[in-house]
Amino acid sequence: MGPKSLKDIAIELAHGKHPSPSSSEVHKIDIQSQERTLLLIGTKSVGKSTLVFRFLEKNDTPKPTLALEYIYARKSGKTVMKDICHLWELGSGTSRLEVASLFSSFSLTAQSGFTLVLMLDLSRLNSLWTEAETFLAKFRAIFESNESVREKRGSFEHFRTADEHRDKGLIRTFPVPLILIGGKYDLFENLEPNKKRIAVQCLRYLAHVNGASLLFHSSLDPGLVKRTRDILNHYAFSSHLASAVNFDYNKPIFVPFGTDSVASIEGTTQYVTAGNCEFLNE
């Protein structure tokens, strides 16, 4: 049998038919390998493919993603079996109907986990807020309609964090774990301070009320590349995460969900809206 096409792989993963150890194999080693899935979406040409390559520690120059790309990573775990992370990157031109048809039936098993990674372009403040809200609304609807996601809700740590947070009345937790990544930080860091302050305020609020972690990234900064890789490894393979929290808009932001609050977001008393961030849409 020849190699499987991307479509074949997508169909198998969507219906939970991807290869997994047999029950006898699981019995022999007692513990099943861990499987996680990362779905990377976001602004066109923000560097999603480059981010995937850096996560895999590949120095090649990636080709533009036209529709949906799939790759997987393996890592030695605590058993003789290797943990697996399925990496999906969604091209910006893919229609909502195509995305919904694949991920509305996506199956999450007891041994699997899923994280949505939304990458936004920090150099395009005029569309930052609108694009973030559009992506979040689209994928919230898709995953809220997914039966296995609804059934697995109680096992997602960010739901437990939200339930225990003092802002729980304001947090509308995203259906799956969510990471917001601000890409092209190397262009953002030279903007005037007031624009950076308001953009960070808006993104912190948006991440907080959706139960998401927030970080800034640049493929040109080795330190930020390593930090982003460490964070993705944490979600993909449950590796230890030691990065320090940073709220200072003059430095690369890193705010894991649960560490922020509405009261600590500068200039925020109750809600941040597009009206508060209207300059982002000019």
Range of the domain at 196: 35-266
Six-digit token pair at 63?
Answer: 């080709």
In a domain, 277, yes or no: no
CA torsion sign, 212 to 150 to 69 to 84?
A: positive
Domain count, the chain: 1
Most confidently modeled range among 74-88, 164-178, 267-281:
164-178
Distance in angstroms (rounded) separating the CA atoms of residues 253 and 215: 5
In a domain, 111, yes or no: yes
Distance in angstroms (rounded) separating the CA atoms of residues 227 and 170: 29
* pLDDT at position 102: 66
30 band by pLDDT with thresholds 50, 70 and 90: very low
In a domain, 28, yes or no: no
Amino acid at 207: A
- C-alpha dist (Å) from residue 252 to 79, 155, 230, 279: 36, 30, 15, 21
Domain holding 42: CATH number?
3.40.50.300
pLDDT (tens digit, 9 = 90+) per residue, 96-110? Answer: 566 666 666 566 655
Q: Residue 214 pLDDT more than 60? A: yes
What does residue 51 show for φ and ψ, rounded to 5 degrees? -60, -45
In a domain, 275, yes or no: no
Question: Which one-letter DSSP state was computed for residue 245?
Answer: P
pLDDT (tens digit, 9 = 90+) per residue, 145-195? Answer: 888 787 777 667 777 788 888 898 989 999 999 999 999 999 999 999 999
What does residue 250 show for φ and ψ, rounded to 5 degrees? -85, 0
pTM, two decimals, is 0.83
* pLDDT at position 31: 55
* pLDDT at position 22: 46
In a domain, 151, yes or no: yes
Instruction: With beta carbons less than 8 A apart as the criterion, state whether 170 and 209 touch.
Output: yes
